[in-house]
Structure 1
Amino acid sequence: MIYPTRRAALIVAAGAPLALIAGSAMAPLWWLGVFWAAVMLLLMALDAMLGAARDRLSLDPVPPLSAAVARPGQIEFTARFAGAAPRSVEARLDAGARLGLAGGTMQAQVHDGVAEVVAAFTPQRRGIATLEALWLRWQGPLGLVWKQKTFALDFNLAVTTDLAWVREEAVRLFARNAMFGTKAQIEVGEGSEFHALRDFQPGMDRRAVDWKQSARHALLLAKEFRTDRNHNVVMALDCGRAMSEPLDGAPRIDRAINGALLLAHACLRSGDRAGFFAFDAAPRLSTGAVGGPNAFAVLQQMAGRIDYSAEETNYTLGLSVLAGELQRRSLIVVFTDFTDPTAAQLMIESVGRLARRHLLMFVVLRDEELEGMIAAEPLEPEDVARAVFAASLRRERDLVISRLRRLGVHIVETSADRIGPAVINSYLDLKRRDLL
């Protein structure tokens, strides 16, 4: 496709009033307008002939790509001109809204006939993002015409869970303790299973002293315990409508999946068993508690199957099915968000029954946008109404959290970017207190 540039259109438009003025002054000069337009058409035709040919432009195959929710990425396209080449090109990529392209038109300089076009993106949801077409256009040497060529891509890009974030957080949180992983003493720690007696050393906890055995042997002895292992830790993921809404650039459920995967890594690393359970209006996924060297890979694969939902969450059905599947006392970590008072009341009733046998921990994400509405300075009446409504939502949320705490549920309320360290610290604190 070849069409005029804005410069050419402005030049042609500028000749019209000049021809009108000349024709008004002297009638025989009316032909100046026609002459002006004809000259411009000839110049545009010349510009099109001198510019780089469209049939001599080729596009290299799209390289292998990876994309993760809320993680910025980029796609690099390499366009090659055979023969004459322009100084720069403009590009536009046609892709699905799921990919989250940043900006519209992209600019790229041409060096030695090669143009590197970079399209930045930040995916908003998991799934398949289709790259349909790439448009490239460039100007002739006179800047009067655009030449455009369209490349059909038909490329599918899978947007997955942000496993790179999980790996980075795992390295950051556990690398400083990695030196202890190769020592046999890792089996000894704060737990409930007695291991052995040993001589009391300075720095040891005085509560570990066995006074009866010390009196019998006339030597100060302390107890050692084996670190508790093989606990069941189940991550119950609410994937209903409220959890599918975005928070800080990514759906809440994706934030929850990242935190659940990081917690699963910590559980498996400490010798416990981990599992996933996803539910909305009905149970959608259940892996059971798994352990072993391949357990984390299995959980990664199963986490990718958790889909978004537009249905309301049925806590009664979901938690009842989960309770029926668990054959032993387990730590149940529920990733959810509650805004509807009726649904929250039903959830509290279900939690009360579940808490009689199992240990529960709820993970809720703090809504920074809601907090901003409350703290914003009111400048208009709408700001006051917005702040009052936001404060009522937070008040209802705090009421539900306080009722859960009275039932013995442990609450982790954190921001989206701190969900990983927050849930791991709470998990380790429960193990340290021997509550599992």
Structure 2
Amino acid sequence: MTTSSMKRSQPFRSLVNRLLDHGILPTRKLILLLAGGSVAAALGALAGLGYALFWLYNAFLLLASILDWRSMPRRGQVNVARILPEQTDIGRELTVSLVLENHSGQPVPYRLRDDLPFSFERPPDVAGVLSAKREIVTYVTKGSERGLYTFSHLYLRCQGRLGLWEKQAKLAYEQHIKVYPDLSTVRGYLQSLQESLIVDGKKFLLKTRSGTEFHAIREYVPDDDPRYINWSASARGRRLMTNEYRPEQGKVLTILLDCGRMMGVELDGRTKLDLSMEAALTLAAVALRQGDQVALLAYSHEIKTYVPPGRGLGHLHTLIEAVYDLQSDFVESNPLLALEYLHRQQKRRSLMVLFSDMENYLLEDQLGAYLWRLRRSHLLLLLSLADPLLHDWSRTAASNSRIAYVKALAQRFQLDRKAFQQKMTGAGIQVLDIPADQLTLTVVNSYLEIKSREAL
């Protein structure tokens, strides 16, 4: 577009913006009444009155429109404010409150629409009659993607007493909201005071008697190991008491999140990155509750974010803030880059848990050799989400040659996965290919099992 054409279009653009921001629009009632003018013209022609009845009818509509326009609230007499929480979880219903103030001194019919981000579910318009000076209305929505989103404008339409015209206003009211991953499992664990953790009806393994660090003294019960009896405390209390031990605290857990192309693949409407992130944050909550330190690194073809090791449940909020808006990139990930970065950053022995895709493990030729060197100074756990499509195709009936060929390919891919797992297991590196619905349970149990046998 040339400069001259932009200058010519500026007045029209300003007119459109003015109509959208502070325009006056006809209502459905006025349109129906205008359509009735043809009926009035037809009746006038049949009665031999010519256009007299038609003009009289339209003059009446013009007078009613003027009266209706004068009865509409003036600019600033109706105000709207939004009450929006600072954060919400992905897929969780969110209630937004709208505070309306009426300074016109008369009931005002209105329609109200919020300027929602694209990934939020759009509810019907809020409508009603604002008769009080102050009224609060609500609507329900939910976000379908993680990240930081902006609620910018509010669109308000007010009518006069006759309801023939409505005035439109675009009110600037910018607010921000953070959409976190699904943290219901994390909150369920943090609120649990049980020794056996139960999340979504599944029991997590927790051995309270393992470890070498002294935890407490309690009364002896049958089946307790007699070697742990505290004879001094038993003599003072005149009953058998036993020492209770737990795994040593202060160990380091490092979580690696792959944000490459393969992690953007959806499984049942959720991306692999979303599922892995929720499991990783649950694992972090468990480790922090156990007294360990947790570090986190997210990467794709480059390092996206790194959180150094920290302890305490306050550190969990730091981890959430660092990863809640991460998205998968349309590039192949580079796990060697992430592992080399961590090897420079962390000299202390730690448990490294890598959330990635099995295809990335298989396609990276140098990964296996580097993992073998790294396992001397760190304990490694590689996780991958099982591909349900491969599982289904490998078990389908071969009814024709095409399906038989696809089945053979699926079985070959699964054999490659199992061969990689066996190769890594032989080198002392645990690799788990887990269905999506068992990821959180499996990774937490694996961590607790490693803690119980003092392998870290």
Q: In which range does the TM-score fall when normalised by the shorter chain?
A: 0.7 to 0.9
Structure 1 runs not aligned, ≥5 long: 180-185, 210-221, 375-384
Question: Counterpart of 1:12 in structure 2: which amino acid?
Answer: L
SS at match of 1:48: helix
The residue aligned with 2:237 is none
Given candidates 353, 356, 360, the residue that maps to 2:380 is 360
Rounded Cα–Cα distance in structure 1 between residues aligned with 2:302 and 2:126: 45
Worse overlay, 351-360 or 38-47: 351-360
Residues 206-233 of structure 1: CA deviation (Å, up to 9, x unaligned): 9x89xxxxxxxxxxxx998652433321
Given candidates 247, 254, 257, the residue that maps to 2:277 is 257
Residues 199-255 of structure 1: CA deviation (Å, up to 9, x unaligned): x9742469x89xxxxxxxxxxxx9986524333211001122333566666654344
**Structure 1 residue 276: Cα displacement:** 0.7
Worse overlay, 349-358 or 267-276: 349-358
Given candidates 4, 10, 33, the residue that maps to 1:11 is 33
Identity %: 24
Rounded Cα–Cα distance in structure 1 between residues aligned with 2:392 and 2:35: 50
Matched, 1:2 2:24: yes
Matched, 1:161 2:183: no
8 A contact 2:110–2:157 mirrored in 1: yes
8 A contact 1:129–1:157 mirrored in 2: yes
The residue aligned with 1:405 is 421
Rounded Cα–Cα distance in structure 2 between residues aligned with 1:388 and 1:33: 78
Once superposed, what is the RMSD of the aligned Cα atoms?
Answer: 4.5
Given candidates 253, 258, 267, the residue that maps to 1:238 is 258
**Structure 1 residue 427: Cα displacement:** 1.5
8 A contact 1:276–1:286 mirrored in 2: yes
Rounded Cα–Cα distance in structure 1 between residues aligned with 2:406 and 2:134: 53
Structure 2 runs not aligned, ≥5 long: 1-22, 198-205, 229-241, 394-401
Matched, 1:39 2:55: no
Matched, 1:170 2:170: no
The residue aligned with 2:398 is none
The residue aligned with 2:96 is 75
8 A contact 1:273–1:289 mirrored in 2: yes
The residue aligned with 1:142 is 162
Residues 124-148 of structure 1: CA deviation (Å, up to 9, x unaligned): 4444422221011133333322232
Question: Judging changes above 3 Å, is the alpha-carbon distance between structure 1 residues 194 and 201 closer, same or farther for their aligned structure 2 residues?
Answer: same
**Structure 1 residue 52: Cα displacement:** 4.4
Rounded Cα–Cα distance in structure 1 between residues aligned with 2:373 and 2:210: 30
8 A contact 2:289–2:313 mirrored in 1: no
Question: Counterpart of 2:355 in structure 1: which amino acid?
Answer: F
Rounded Cα–Cα distance in structure 2 between residues aligned with 1:188 and 1:85: 66
Residues 62-99 of structure 1: CA deviation (Å, up to 9, x unaligned): 4462123403323212111121123x53211124335x
Q: What TM-score comes out, normalization by structure 1 length?
A: 0.72
Rounded Cα–Cα distance in structure 2 between residues aligned with 1:130 and 1:224: 51
8 A contact 2:147–2:325 mirrored in 1: no
Question: Judging changes above 3 Å, is the alpha-carbon distance between structure 1 residues 18 and 278 closer, same or farther for their aligned structure 2 residues?
Answer: same
Rounded Cα–Cα distance in structure 2 between residues aligned with 1:271 and 1:329: 16
Given candidates 399, 412, 429, the residue that maps to 2:449 is 429
Rounded Cα–Cα distance in structure 1 between residues aligned with 2:129 and 2:369: 63
Rounded Cα–Cα distance in structure 1 between residues aligned with 2:455 and 2:262: 31
**Structure 1 residue 263: Cα displacement:** 1.4
Q: What TM-score comes out, normalization by structure 2 length?
A: 0.69
Question: Judging changes above 3 Å, is the alpha-carbon distance between structure 1 residues 305 and 145 closer, same or farther for their aligned structure 2 residues?
Answer: closer
Question: Judging changes above 3 Å, is the alpha-carbon distance between structure 1 residues 434 and 84 closer, same or farther for their aligned structure 2 residues?
Answer: same
